[in-house]
Amino acid sequence: MDSIDPELRDVLLCLGNSQVNAIFLAHLPERDIVPPPATDNSSRQIREAWIKAKYVERRFA
């Protein structure tokens, strides 16, 4: 498992998930962000597709 510096963790927590995602995904071409990032209102299907693309397929690494 990755480790993260406590100060960076605190910054990320203060910014929140939406702002952090906007920062990390800002330089990806829109065509590469498929499926779109899951949000609080996303269906289970959208969430599963996003998790699979991000962690299983490592599409954004």
- Say if 35 falls within a structural domain: yes
pTM of the model: 0.55
Q: Rounded to an integer, what distance in angstroms lies between the CA atom of residue 46 and that of residue 36?
A: 8
Quote the pLDDT of residue 32.
Answer: 67
Question: Which residue type does 50 have?
Answer: W
Contacts of 2 (CB under 8 A, 6+ apart): none
- Say if 1 falls within a structural domain: no
The tally of domains found in the chain comes to: 1
Quote the pLDDT of residue 41.
Answer: 86
Identify which of 14, 11, 13, 39 has the alpha carbon closest to the alpha carbon of residue 25. Answer: 39
Quote the pLDDT of residue 61.
Answer: 72
Quote the pLDDT of residue 2.
Answer: 78
**Residue-range definition of the domain harbouring residue 15:** 6-56
Mean pLDDT per 10-residue interval, the chain, length 61 residues: 88 91 80 73 88 86 72
Quote the pLDDT of residue 56.
Answer: 93
Angle at alpha carbon of residue 1, lines to 39 and 20, rounded to 5°:
30
